[in-house]
Structure 1
């Protein structure tokens, strides 16, 4: 019986180190109603985020492409130490009745992680949230403010933070992403 718990702990430990765990299960924020997956596809730039161990560079962006089988090709990139780094993954709609709740995996051996679109206008900005429950005792979460351009007005960023906070998502540690000097991206 100890082995499954040890295995679970080993898989979750990297995420815990990267984030501050919060007591209790993940919040259940409202997601974008009438979400249109096709309109969401394309290039998104990271404007602000909760710090994440797997994102250390600058000029972070993600490109989403709908595939023939209705899965999503996900290509994320960043510039780290002057070098362009890319990672490819797959996204899926886990529940066709609620397409704003996607799952994304960058590995064949790991399960899909939640990638929930809380709000988007499709042409300017999107608010994305991901959370992993650990035995319903605590959770680690990620939140991103994304844009179709490398900048957003401060008022838009502040409104986005309010939306997260109104959904019981702690964004007090949210930091601005660096989107300067981004000649080598996707």
Structure 2
């Protein structure tokens, strides 16, 4: 979930009040993108999902998974949560490290019930005259039922976030292929190649021992 969504507006960023008493532990796990503002990083993608998890290094990571509409290959963009920024736990500063150019963004969890939906907002100031807004509706189910979406819409209406710019995320036919496997490299950094057929390991069960023809056996015993 990168904040490369661009819905421009004049003036400064709205002063939205993020969620109070946010429970970060309950927020962990996988969320499916239901609707969003236009996002450059998601053009040509489908089946977007975001996973929040603590890794062995003790840091909270955000893993955004996108599946290409054309190749059906999934790519993952990860960022580390650097803590809170001038506010409650529900304001997350995420430093993304998988884009060609690393960047960081602040995400405001406006509201969530942890089990069904989450509404997230982000705003970036553009000089003294304007800003761009980003907004997402996430759900725990890939295809959330109507009542869950109505709850999320209620939060958007509460904060007067326009639903005009929202687009529905495609969450059907989400069987994806893994990304290409990297080439096997030798210690010298050169790509390992197979020049001879004997270099290829052959399972024992595939080797068939050839038995002599019956007439040959007869000649040998006579």
Place the TM-score, normalised by the shorter chain, in its bin. Answer: 0.7 to 0.9
Aligned runs of 1:18-97 on 2, under 5 Å? Answer: 19-56=6-43, 57-67=45-55, 71-80=59-68, 81=70, 82-95=72-85
Report the more deviating stretch, 121-130 or 146-155. 146-155
Q: Give the TM-score of the pair, scaled to structure 2.
A: 0.69
Do the aligned partners of 2:125 and 2:132 also contact (CA within 8 Å) in 1?
yes
Report the more deviating stretch, 155-164 or 167-176. 155-164
Higher RCO structure, 1 or 2 (CA under 8 Å, sep 6+): 1
- What residue is the counterpart of 1:120 in the other structure? 112
Equivalent residue of 1:21, what SS? Answer: strand
RMSD (Å), alpha carbons = 2.4
- What residue is the counterpart of 2:139 in the other structure? 147
Q: Provide structure 2 residue ranges, at least 5 long, that are not aligned to the other structure.
A: 179-222
- 2-structure distance, mates of 1:27, 1:121: 23
Change (3 A) 1:30 1:176: same
- 1-structure distance, mates of 2:30, 2:24: 13
- 2-structure distance, mates of 1:136, 1:22: 12
Paired residue total: 171
Larger radius of gyration: 2
Deviations 1:76-126 (A, max 9, x none): 111112111111111122248600000112138645201111111111111
- What residue is the counterpart of 1:3 in the other structure? none
Which one of 151, 164, 177 corresponds to residue 156 of structure 2?
164
Q: Give the TM-score of the pair, scaled to structure 1.
A: 0.81
Do the aligned partners of 1:21 and 1:138 also contact (CA within 8 Å) in 2?
yes
Deviations 1:41-86 (A, max 9, x none): 1111001101111112110001111246653111111111211111
Q: What is the Cα deviation at residue 137 of structure 1? A: 1.6
Q: What is the Cα deviation at residue 148 of structure 1? A: 1.1
